[in-house]
Each structure stands twice: as structure tokens, then as C-alpha cells.
Amino acid sequence: MLKIDSHQHFWIYDEVRDSWISEDMAVLRADFMPGQLLAELQQHHFDGSVVVQSDQSPAENIFQLENAGNNAFVKGVVGWVDLQAQDIDDQLAALSGYSKLKGFRHILQGEKDRALMLKPGFVNGIAKLRPLGYTYDILIFPDQLKYAAELAAKFPDQPFVVDHIAKPAIKNGTIEEWKKDIIALAAHENVYCKVSGMVTEADWQNWQFEDFNPYLDVVFEAFGAERLMYGSDWPVCLLAASYQQVIDLTDQYTSKLTATEQAMFWGGNATKFYNL
């Protein structure tokens, strides 16, 4: 069974650029580079990973593409471009030579305009991706799920993937509104979902395996095993769990799946989605 970690990050810590890393997240105020992740992947028998942007700049693409170029286990890069730029065609053309660049992401969860993804400029940028074979990672909070469904409906042939099951409020057990909206989004068959980032939405110090089961029940029923993929969200997961613990909580849930479903979830779907 091919195993792919579909969601991880690398960075050289910069206190100005990485100001999102607050004092209570001090464990992340360090450098996290390929050699550190490789040790985890090898220990847990993973075949590779997909690195996802954490900074919204052209320099981020170069940094991550260099990491991928120097490390065979990094199978794909999800980069960043200004989708609203006037010269979006030129930006994409300049990146077209990088075979490991698989798609793009914008940090929509942090935007003041919660519906930015539906604005004409953004929509114009999304329209450029599919013809060039690029995917799009949707990073949002639950209040933006309705807009994501509208976006998915506009581009039925564009492969989308929701990061971190759209970050439901696991810590306080809130589920109903998120459940309704994620089911509606999953009705669009061009949308996949990453089972990732859950521990950081839970109580960092006191989470239990069973805290996640209601949310996992929802996404497995909504998307099916054929549109879900595993992601560690390393190193961000370290705020609340070790790499081992993130695997364990997912493994515990997916152990009831068939061998075929497990193979899709742990690697097959990510390989297909990102064309690894």
C-alpha cells in the first residue's frame, strides 16, 4: 500500500513573516525542514509527502520547489499565486516548467472578506488552473463552507480539496452547522477533503480519540473513502500531538475500512488528485 502524507509544511522561522505563530504556539518558532520530516516518514513507512505553502509570496514557491527538487520524497508542491493579479497568465506561465508544482492555495480563512473566493478577480484566477492541470486547496473556516460550495459549482471540472475538514470547532463539540454545510459541499464530486489538522481544533492538552469520531463519521459518509486523503499537518500538529499520535487517531478510525478503501485513503487518493 502506497502511503502519502498529503499535507505538511517546511519553513525557516522568521518572526516578522511568521507573526501568525503566537506565544502559545512557541513550539513552532523554529525551523522545520525536509530532513526532520523524512525521519518521521521513514519511521511510519510513508512513501512521500505533499508540501503546502504557508507564506503568500512568490519566494515561497521557489523555496518549496527547491525543497522538493532536493528531496525525492517530496512528491508535490502546493504553492501560491495572486489569483486576482492582472498578470495571472504570466505568473502561471513562469511556473509551468516545474513538474512537482501540483496546485495552489490561498489563506482564505484569514481574509476579512469571507466570500473573497467568489469575487470576479479570484474567480478569474481559478478559471486559469484546470487548463494547466493545477489543483486548488481550499483553506477555510466553517463560516465559509457555503461560499466554497458556490465556487465548486462554478467549476465542476476543477479539482478542489478542502484542507483540515474545514476546521470545525472540535474543542467545544460544535457540529450541526458545519455538518450541514460540509455535506452540501461534498455533493460536488470535484471536491476532495483532507483528514488533517483536526488535533489543533481540539483541546490541545486534553483531547481524546473519541472527540474526533463524530466529525470523521460525517466526512467519511459525505465524501466516501474515495475522496478523502490523510494529512499530518506537520509541524503545526505538534501544538497538540506528535506525528505518531496523529497517525494513531486516524488509523484507529480507518481500521474498519476495507483494504481497498484504506489504500485509497492513505495514498491512492492523494496520488490521483495531485497526479504524483
Q: What is the CATH number of the domain that holds 88?
A: 3.20.20.140
Pairwise CA distance, residues 249 & 223, whole Å? 19
Grid coordinates given for 55: 507564506
Q: Find the mean pLDDT for residues 37-41.
A: 98
How large is the average pLDDT for residues 83-102? Answer: 96
Q: How confident is the model at residue 185 (pLDDT cuts 50, 70, 90)?
A: very high
Look at residue 258 and tell me whether its pLDDT is greater than 90: yes
| pLDDT tens-digit readout, 237-251 | 999 999 999 999 999
Q: What percent of the chain has pLDDT over 90?
A: 98
- Each residue of 107-136: b (16+ CB within 10 Å) or e? ebbeeeeebbbbeeebbebbebbbeeebbb
pLDDT exceeds cutoff 90 at 121: yes
Amino acid 27: pLDDT:
95
User: What is the residue range of 27's domain?
Assistant: 4-274
pLDDT at 1: 85
Round the average pLDDT of the chain to a whole number and report it: 97
Q: What is the pLDDT of residue 25?
A: 93
Cβ atoms of 144 and 113 closer than 8 Å: no
Which of 22-26, 90-94, 104-108, 176-180 has the lowest average pLDDT? 22-26
pTM of the prediction?
0.97
Question: Number of folded domains in the chain?
Answer: 1
Check if the beta carbon of residue 51 is closer than 8 Å to that of residue 9: yes
What's the order of all strands across the beta sheet hosting 74-79?
4-8, 48-52, 74-79, 101-106, 135-138, 160-162, 191-195, 228-230
